[in-house]
Structures are given as C-alpha cells and as structure tokens.
Structure 1
C-alpha cells in the first residue's frame, strides 16, 4: 500500500473514484481501472453497497431527492442504478493490483466491511454522508486498516467524534479529507484554506475529496498541503449518474501530471541558487569602470557604476569607494573593478 509511503515522501496519494461511472457494465468498470492506471493514479476506489444496504425502498417524501443533479429521484432507485455489483469487486481489485495500483472501497454498512475483509483490502474510506455513522466508523476502524474519512457537511465537533470512534478501537491511522458534498461543487463553497487548519486542529494528515469541475481545486489543495486527492473518473464514451462531476480519461491524466508538476514546483525550503540558476550568477550586478580613470584619481558616480555582469567587486562597496577610494593604476572603460585596482580602501 502506497498511502503512508507517499505521505512520508511528500508525494500526493491520488485516488481514482469509479463510483457509478461503469454504467452497469463490468467491461466499463475494467476500462476505468485501466484508464486510472494509465493516468498514473495510485489507487482505484469503489463503493460497496446495494440499494437495500444504503437506504429503504420507500416512496415517501423523505426518500425523494428535491434538488441538484438527481432531483426528483428516489434514493432507492438512484442507488440501484449506481451501485457496483459485489461479484465484480474481486475482478476489479485483481485488475487494479496487476496494474500497480492500490484497491480501496467505501463500505456503507457492516456487511460491506465483512465482505471487503474477505477480499483482503488494505484500507477503508468513509464517505461524507457516513461521517456521522459512528458504529460503521468503529466497525471499519476495528479491522486495524487505515481509514480515510471524508468530512463533507461535518462540523469540527463531528469530525472529532469520528476520530474518537477510530481511536476507541485502537486505530490512529486516519486521514481526513476536506470535502464539499455538492455535486458538482462550486469553487465558492470549497474553502480549501480549511485544509491546513484541519491538519493543525486534529493532528492527522489531510487531503481533498474533489467534486468540482476540472483540476484547479485539486492543484490548489496540494499547494496547501493536501496529502491525498480523490477525484471521480469516468469514460468519455459513457454517460452515467456521476459523470457530470467526473473527469474523463484525458482529463484525469492531465490532473495527475499537474499534481506531479505542482509537487516538483513546491520543492523544499531553499534560499540558495538552484543548479539551473548557476549560469545566471555571472549576469548579476557588480562594480565596473564606467569611464577611463587615471592612476590616483578618485572614484566618482561618473566613472564607477553598478552594472551587469558580475565579474567586478560587490556593489556593497560602492558608497565606501566613492567616499575614500582612488584608482591604484590607470583603468580603462569597461574594466571590472578588483581590490588591486583600489587605493584608499582596505580589501574586506
């Protein structure tokens, strides 16, 4: 599992979320796995539920979506369409691992955790809507596997309660994800500056579950210290329940490239010239003779200037040389000034 190796090495752990983007076809699911691997994702993620394990087949107003992407759909019907058949999981996991990716899933009830344990999963994800399901969190955490916890809609107190639930069963291997549970998410509602505050407040690594359009928010999150980025991946050729806020194969590959380039650009704290800058050092400013000077003549603003390149004395000596310095010999226009050219000022 790459998660904590990446965190230790300062590399973002990139999760490709399949969700319902397979459109009910196993061949699409496997194509998404291959696309994730080709893009450079570290992990392929599923969601493990059925309509019956996540909600009730009830047609009252409580179970009807009233706005947003799935407006006027009943929860049971939506989840029946979007779920990933459990009999696919093993094949998807094998495909992901054969391509060098980790495999992760989000369980939505106790039976899902038990099922995923039979598959030998190495970590769990708790969805934002389940961040208040304390028994489920304890169940997943009690496996001893790392838990990635999305925090969409959660207050600071609810996040702490979820963390406490993990720790109550001896599991302190938790990563929090800043998240806005709106699909798609407007930039105005993301509040990414919360990421470093979460890290400081809760004392655990923090990442981003990104439902916004494009990759801009994910890149911004990495600059703020996000150690995990989760993004939905779909096939350009397949319209599904989640594709409106997912990246297609080409877009996801660009996301990965942009994150890796961002990591390179962030680098480390460094005040010295980089190796690439070394050749430019010669083009900084230094002191040069700006007009012919006879031996014994004083240096003036007319015959001594700070200019590019950098082969003369440092500019820090300019004022002192104008006040006390004289030419130790005849000096021609364009000569870089050195200490042997100076009388009246001791070399220092």
Structure 2
C-alpha cells in the first residue's frame, strides 16, 4: 500500500491515524472562534487543520433549502442564508492557514471550484479536499489533481464504481498523493449506516490510505473506524456540540478532543500487527506454561511416557509443547521424583 506524506506525517499502513480537525461551520461564522479552535486543536494533538472554501456565489437558485437534523428535530433554512452566515473570505482562510503554519501543522481545505484550488496552491496548503457531492465532478477532480497537492476524496453516498472512476481520473491527471475517505450516509449517520468494512475494500482496490469522515453524534465511530483500519479520521471541532446548528451535532468539543485523541491512539496501538511479533531469537514463552517432571525416581533407560512423567510449573525444564516429539524416548540420566526433565537427560 502506498503511503502519503502531509506535512511531516506519513499516512498509511504502519503509521498512527492522522486526525484532521475540521472547522467546517463550527466556527460559527467568527474568525476569532476559528483561530481559537485551531490553537486548541493543535494543543490537543490534531495533525491537520481544515476549513471549507464555500461561498454564496455557488448558489444559483435563491429558493434552495438547506436541511439538517439535530437529535430528531428537522431544520430547514434557506441555503443562501446558511452560506452567508458561515462563509469566510479567502483572506480569512489565509489567516487560519498562517496560524497553522505558526503552530507547525499542515492546513488543507475543501475546494469547490478552480479559483479556490488556485488559492490553496498560492498560499501553500498541503492538501485539497473534494467534497462528497463532487465525487462525480470530474473537471474539478482533474484540476485539483494537477495542482501537485495531496488530494482527499470524500465518497459520501457514491457507488463503488463512482469512487473507482474518481480515483482513476485523479491518478490519470497526475495525482501522486491520494487519500480516499469513506463517508457514511446521514448527517448525522446512525451506526447501521456506517458500513465501516467498506474501508478495507477501498484499501484493497486502491492501495492508498483510507479514512473516515466522521458525521456521528458521538465519539464512538472514531474509535470503531481506527479498529477497522482507518488511517485518517476527519471530524469537526466545536466549542459546543449541543448547539442547535448544523455540524455541531457530529463535532467533537474542543474540551473533549485530547481524550478522544488519546483513546484513538490507544485503540491503534492495541490493534497491533496481523501476526504476533516475536523477539529476535526467542520463542514466545510464558513461565506459566508447564514442563516435564519426573513422576517418580527414574533411572537411565526409563521411557518418556505418561506412566513416568507428569507436568508442573514454573517452566524450568523441557516444555510440554515438545511432548509429541519426545514420547517414547529413553532417559540417559537418572532423575529424582519431582525434578524437571532437561534436554541433557534425554537419549
């Protein structure tokens, strides 16, 4: 599997999960809040800061509605009002990027058009995110892929063949640093909608790092995804995840972020390797395994069998795992009752 480098971090198999702190709309439309969240996220251990370069000019129909749910309550707001409330200017996004530079972490952002791709290249961003609705926006994917920046593809509700096509288009356009993010249905998504096993399928298909864009009301899916092999976790950060506003419901509060990241890394460490590692030159032995013991006073020529041999701890003699190869052999030395049988005692 290919690894991807973003900033100073390698992402992929054998490397700790890469946590992207998403500002999204959880900055409440306030640059000071965004900058404060950025500082605290980096202090907590976030690997990357991300913003979203949306702007009201994307809305071509003023009657369009933004819908979202918060713990069973459905909200509908004019999309244009939503965009105007939360949009930042490019200069404001640049301020976030400059702070990320000062704090020593990479900055990335979602770009919805060529102008914003060019902006990210110009300010020295590390990566471009392709939002899930744009997984079939092939002109945008090609343009972003040619930028030379790392590319993160959000899959959303895309069919597998659509994800395959997006990956092919990005690679054909020259993208050498590609990450595929699984994004479950639902905002927020229920547990049954997550289908986290699809990440292993994407890893097999694309041989590239695969992660999760987490839109779950809670923190459990961060840890479940890492246990399922996710190499990237992206989740919004907020001051208050119970605020009645879009995205806050599936965010992690900045106060909770240190513990969420600590647990995330603990889960990663606990998963270990597919094969239990062995210390060089040693077998994995436990002092609690039993060894061969003389059942009575034995003399030279006595046979190794269950009449003459019993088993005991600690494992100071020949381990019981050698029984099948030793049964029927004879003793070359006498052994006192209760003593461990050693290799030098065997003919």
Q: Tell me the C-alpha RMSD between the 2 structures.
A: 2.9
When normalised by structure 1's length, the TM-score is 0.84
Q: Indicate the residue corresponding to 1:338 in structure 2.
A: 342
In 1, Cα distance between the equivalents of 2:161 and 2:305?
69
The alpha-carbon distance between structure 1 residues 93 and 304, as it changes in their structure 2 partners (threshold 3 A), is same
The alpha-carbon distance between structure 1 residues 281 and 99, as it changes in their structure 2 partners (threshold 3 A), is same
In 1, Cα distance between the equivalents of 2:325 and 2:22?
66
Q: Indicate the residue corresponding to 1:178 in structure 2.
A: 182
8 Å CA contact retained: 1:65, 1:73: yes
Q: Indicate the residue corresponding to 2:319 in structure 1.
A: 314
In 2, Cα distance between the equivalents of 1:14 and 1:317?
48
Does 2:221 correspond to 1:217?
yes
Instruction: Report the structure, 1 or 2, having the larger strand content.
Output: 2
Q: Indicate the residue corresponding to 1:37 in structure 2.
A: 42
When normalised by structure 2's length, the TM-score is 0.85
- SS of corresponding position for 2:33: helix
**Aligned mate of 2:138, from 116, 134, 140:** 134
Give the count of matched residue pairs.
336
In 1, Cα distance between the equivalents of 2:151 and 2:248?
26
Does 2:204 correspond to 1:200?
yes
* Deviations, residues 187-213 of structure 1 (Å, cap 9, x unaligned): 101111111111222343221111113
**More deviation, 163-172/42-51:** 163-172
Does 2:21 correspond to 1:16?
yes
In 1, Cα distance between the equivalents of 2:304 and 2:172?
77
8 Å CA contact retained: 2:11, 2:209: no
The alpha-carbon distance between structure 1 residues 2 and 224, as it changes in their structure 2 partners (threshold 3 A), is farther
Instruction: Report the structure, 1 or 2, having the larger helix content.
Output: 1
* Deviations, residues 251-280 of structure 1 (Å, cap 9, x unaligned): 3222222232233223334445459x9996
Q: Indicate the residue corresponding to 1:64 in structure 2.
A: 65
Q: Indicate the residue corresponding to 2:110 in structure 1.
A: 106
Q: Indicate the residue corresponding to 1:96 in structure 2.
A: 100
- SS of corresponding position for 1:32: helix
Q: Please state how far the C-alpha of 1:164 moved relative to its aligned partner.
A: 3.4
Mapping 1:153-302, distance limit 5 Å: 153-236=157-240, 239=243, 240-273=245-278, 281-290=286-295, 292-293=296-297, 295=299, 301=306
**More deviation, 320-329/169-178:** 320-329
In 2, Cα distance between the equivalents of 1:271 and 1:18?
39
In 1, Cα distance between the equivalents of 2:326 and 2:204?
52
Q: Indicate the residue corresponding to 2:151 in structure 1.
A: 147
8 Å CA contact retained: 2:210, 2:232: yes
Q: Indicate the residue corresponding to 1:73 in structure 2.
A: 77
In 2, Cα distance between the equivalents of 1:264 and 1:294?
49
Query: Which structure 1 residue ranges, 5 or more long, are not aligned?
Result: none
